[in-house]
Amino acid sequence: LSTRASAILSALDIPIDKELAGVYHGEWTGSGDLLESKCPTTGEVLARVRSASPEELHAALHKSREAYQVFRSIPAPKRGEILRQIRVALASKRDELGALVSLEMGKIRTEGVGEVQEFVDIADYAVGLSRMMNGRLVASERPGHSILEVPNPLGVVAVLSAFNFPVAVYGWNLALSLAAGNATLWKPSPSTPLCGIAVTKIVSGVLERNGVPGAVAGLVTGDKDVGAGIVESQDVDMVSFTGSEAVGRHVGKVVQSRFGKVLLELGGNNAVIVMPDADLSLAVPAVFFGAVGTAGQRCTSTRRLFLHRAIAPEFLSRLRALYASLLPGDPLAPSTLLGPLHTRAAVGVYSDAVARLQTVGAEILTGGARYDGAALGSPLDGGNFVQPTIAVPPTVDMGDAVWRTETFAPVLCVGVFDALEEAIAWNNGVPQGLSSSLWTRDLRNVGKWIGPAGSDAGIVNVNVGTSGAEIGAAFGGNKTTGWGRESGGDAWKQYVRWSACTINFSDEAPLAQGVQFPS
């Protein structure tokens, strides 16, 4: 292993040059298929991880249920105290974990550290929440009666997360699920098992020190089979899935068919609209980060750019200048802004998308190819580096695949509009509905944008780009993005079961609605 990779793994107590156990449910095991963690920057194999065998998955589900039965009776503020300790433990390893995210996923260092910060932030949030997950007292129409709405823990929550946020998305789910009193079982992406192991080591250390069953925050690494086993299991009360629309559609159907709860965070096809009165010195860098940050591999990445005719040439020339300044590099080097795509397969998806744009006659303003490996030099020649691309398709037609398909790579399509209504129709004209962003200083445009005839996405920003949401608001999208909400806002309400309790304190037993029946 390279010295750099060894140093990062050692700092997180991950053994080097060994097959790692990829299952935790109070103890570490792992005897299933081997997963390979591969560095997307160099192609170096970082570790081999033994995933969950069918028996181990079964055991993990069983242990999760047992852990839930203990954990649900611990008062919520006491659960909050455990979360506070998890927050402290995570923060003390923020830089090391952030470096591991960069090493294993490929995003640049500040973004790697930033996503660990999201976990720290949501842990803070959930500490507060642990004293505020309030039910309600509802007025009864009957004398001497009260109606209570009571939130109770749900049971076992499985979190199936994606490669692109290998730490934060689990964090959003774990923090709320734990505050709510559930046991959480995590299956990370099969290509980022080390992030799963490193985070679980930190969290389980806190649980064990508090005498809480480790399976309150269990881990099962694995591929499709393990995922299918979780999704089909009657022992899983809620499945929180982040990933592609195709897989999400299947997960949704399977969980629904057994009447489980499902929370889906699927694709995005996020648009930025720039009005003629926008401050371009702010809007251009925001589009640059939205489209190129994380090499275009956020669900919230900017994929469509709608420019008012009056500012389009000026905007594009400034944006191209920023693109021209970009050099691909080692995501761990402080100056790098563009890391690799996560997998070799993603490079193929990128190339196919560019080819499709060329076929329809789009003008490629910049990019459009892989970086030449020889020019990058060793060891980056083993990495999945592609040029961020800006394309202007010949027509703006949201029925066309070039506009309506989410390509998980830095490809930005540009259209020019004359009236805001037209741009809003384009914004809403795709199947996905995650994030959207309007740039204007005119309050009337803002009113249209956030109102009933405005953006139909879950995230509707003004003078803020499509990506990089804070944890305080509920995160999620509408339409084929799946309608799920995670993180802040009212998202916690999905992690509990609600009981409506009508209680009679009186000496009578009247029926509601005045119904008379002999007693």
Supply the Cα-derived Rg of the chain in whole angstroms: 24
Residues in Cβ contact with 203 at an 8 Å cutoff, skipping those fewer than 6 apart: 86, 89, 90, 174, 217
Footprint of ligand UN1 (CB under 6 A):
118, 164-165, 169, 242, 298-300, 467-469
HSE value, Cβ hemisphere, 13 Å, CA-based, for 449: 26
Cβ atoms of 432 and 477 within 8 Å: the answer is yes
Q: How far is the CB of 237 from ligand UN1 (least distance, A)?
A: 23
Q: How far is the CB of 25 from ligand UN1 (least distance, A)?
A: 26
Q: Mark whether 265 is an active-site residue.
A: yes
HSE value, Cβ hemisphere, 13 Å, CA-based, for 303: 29
CB nearer to ligand UN1: give 91 or 310.
Answer: 91
Q: How far is the CB of 431 from ligand UN1 (least distance, A)?
A: 17
Cβ-count burial 75-103 (b if 16+ within 10 Å, e if not)? ebeebbebbbbbbebbbebbebbbbbbbb
Cβ atoms of 319 and 365 within 8 Å: the answer is no
**Which of these is catalytic: 115, 118, 245, 265?**
265
How far apart CA 519 and CA 503 sit, in angstroms, is: 19
How far apart CA 325 and CA 337 sit, in angstroms, is: 10
**Total residues found in the chain within this entry:** 519
CB nearer to ligand UN1: give 169 or 390.
Answer: 169
CB nearer to ligand UN1: give 303 or 448.
Answer: 303
Q: How far is the CB of 467 from ligand UN1 (least distance, A)?
A: 4
How far apart CA 472 and CA 492 sit, in angstroms, is: 12
Cβ-in-10-Å burial (0-12, 13-18, 19+) of 357 comes to buried
Cβ atoms of 219 and 138 within 8 Å: the answer is no
Q: How far is the CB of 286 from ligand UN1 (least distance, A)?
A: 12
Residue with tokens 């009666």: 145
What does the block give as tokens for 282?
């702010």
Q: How far is the CB of 240 from ligand UN1 (least distance, A)?
A: 12
Cβ atoms of 140 and 168 within 8 Å: the answer is no
What does the block give as tokens for 345?
């397969």
CB nearer to ligand UN1: give 23 or 251.
Answer: 251
CB nearer to ligand UN1: give 288 or 417.
Answer: 288
Q: How far is the CB of 299 from ligand UN1 (least distance, A)?
A: 3
CB nearer to ligand UN1: give 242 or 336.
Answer: 242
Residue from 351, 365, 273 nearest 319 by CA: 365
CB nearer to ligand UN1: give 121 or 235.
Answer: 121
How far apart CA 157 and CA 71 sit, in angstroms, is: 13
Active-site residue set:
265
